[in-house]
Amino acid sequence: MAGRNTSRRGCLPVSLVLLALVVAGSFLLYQRWGRRREGPPPPFVTQGRLRVYALDVGQGDSLLVISPGGKSVLVDAGTPQSAGAMIAALRRHRIEGLDLAVATHPHADHIGGMRRVLEAIPVKNFLDSGRDYTTPTFERMLKAVRDRGVRFIAAERGQIFELDSGARLEVLSPAGKGQWITRVREGGSVENANSVVLRLSYGNFAMLLTGDAEAETEAQIMGAGGELRAQVLKVGHHGARYATSADFLAAVRPEAALISCGADNKYGHPTQETLDRLRAAQVQVYRTDLEGEIEVASDGNGFQIQPARQAEAAALWQGRQATQSDVRRGD
C-alpha cells in the first residue's frame, strides 16, 4: 500500500509538467496562427485579370463581369430606354454570349433591357430571386427565358457559380424559397429587400454586388455569418438612404464603392446621408451619373478602378435632392 501511494505521488509532478507543456505549446501555436491571420494574405498566383464594368444605363443598374478566362456574367440590364445603349456596350466589350444573366429583382430599372439581351445574344443560365411578380416587363422577360431554352435558377444563399481561373460568384441573399423577407420599414419595398446579393471573388480580391438591397437585407446577410469582406462595394439601391448602413460598411470594410444612378433622376440618388456614411468609413466613391461607365480590374491581388470620365472630387460627395418618392409600385 505504501509503495503504491508513493508511486502515485511520484507521477503527479510528471503529469503536471506534461500538461504545462501541452498548454504552452498550444498557446504558442495560437499566437503564431493569430499573427499569420492578422497579417496580409499570401500573394495569389494570378491567372489573368478579372474585369467588372458598371455600365452607364442612367437611373438603373447593369454590371458586366468578365472572368480571366473569358466567362461573362450580366447582373441586371438597366431600364427599357437604355437597352440599346447597353447592348452596344456588350458588343463593345466583345460579348457574343453570356454564361449567366442575373435579375437581382423585378423592378424595371434593373430588368428593363433583359428581354432585349436575351433576344440579341445567347444566354446559358438565368438567375432570379424566384419570387412571383406580375408586371408586363417581368413577364416578358420570363417568357424570353422560356422561349430560348435558357436554364432558369432560383437564387438561394450558399449557391456558388464557378467561373474560371479561381473566379467565383456566391449568393448571399435571398435565403431561398419560403424564407423571404416579408416585413420592411414603412414605405419600403419587399422586392428590393429580397434582391439577389452576390459576392464576386478572385484570389485575394472580392466585390459585393447588392442590387437594390436595403437595411433589412443587410441585417439578414450579417446575421447569416458568411464572408462579407470585399474591397469594392456596388452600393445598394443607387445610394438610397435606407441602404449601406454603418454596421454593414463595418462588416464589409470596402475601400471603394460604385453608385449606379442617373444624372436626371428624381429620387435623390445618391442621398447625402449615404454619402456621409461612406465618407465616414473612408470609402472612395465612384458614380455613373458623374463619371459614366466605370471599370474595375483585378489580378487577384490588387485592383484598379477607371471611370470613363473624371469628376470633381467635391461633386462626388454631394447628394441629389429628391422631387418624388423612390418607392416603385411597378413598371
Instruction: Give residue limits of the domains in the chain.
Output: 1-35, 50-316
Segment holding 10, helix H or strand E: helix 2-38
Taking the C-alpha atoms of residue 239 and residue 243, their distance in angstroms, rounded to an integer, is 7
Taking the C-alpha atoms of residue 37 and residue 295, their distance in angstroms, rounded to an integer, is 31
Contact 63, 77 (CB under 8 A): no
Q: Which residues 6+ apart lie within 8 Å of 81 measured at CB?
A: 58, 112
pLDDT value, residue 13: 55
pLDDT value, residue 328: 54
Taking the C-alpha atoms of residue 60 and residue 93, their distance in angstroms, rounded to an integer, is 20
pLDDT value, residue 41: 87
Q: In what order do the strands lie in the sheet with 168-173?
A: 160-162, 168-173, 197-202, 205-209, 232-234, 256-259, 284-287
> Hey, what amino acid is at 274?
T
pLDDT value, residue 12: 44
User: Which regions in the chain score pLDDT beneath 50?
Assistant: 1-12, 17-18, 22-23, 26-37, 329-331
Which residue in this structure is represented by grid cell 411578380? Answer: 133
How many secondary structure helices (H) and strands (E) does the chain include? 11, 15
**Residue from 175, 174, 186, 176 nearest 210 by CA:** 174
Taking the C-alpha atoms of residue 278 and residue 289, their distance in angstroms, rounded to an integer, is 17
Number of Cβ within 10 Å of residue 84's Cβ equals 12
At residue 281, the 3 state secondary structure works out as coil
Segment holding 286, helix H or strand E: strand 284-287
Q: In what order do the strands lie in the sheet with 50-54?
A: 151-154, 125-128, 100-103, 72-75, 63-66, 50-54, 294-298, 303-307
Number of Cβ within 10 Å of residue 246's Cβ equals 12
Contact 288, 54 (CB under 8 A): yes
**Residue from 73, 82, 71 nearest 53 by CA:** 73
C-alpha distances out from residue 145 to 131, 251, 256, Å: 15, 36, 34
* CATH number among 3.50.30.10, 3.40.50.10490, 3.40.50.150, 3.60.15.10, domain 50-316: 3.60.15.10
Q: Can you give the pTM of this predicted structure? A: 0.86
- What cell numbers appear for 281 in the block? 468609413
Segment holding 275, helix H or strand E: helix 272-280
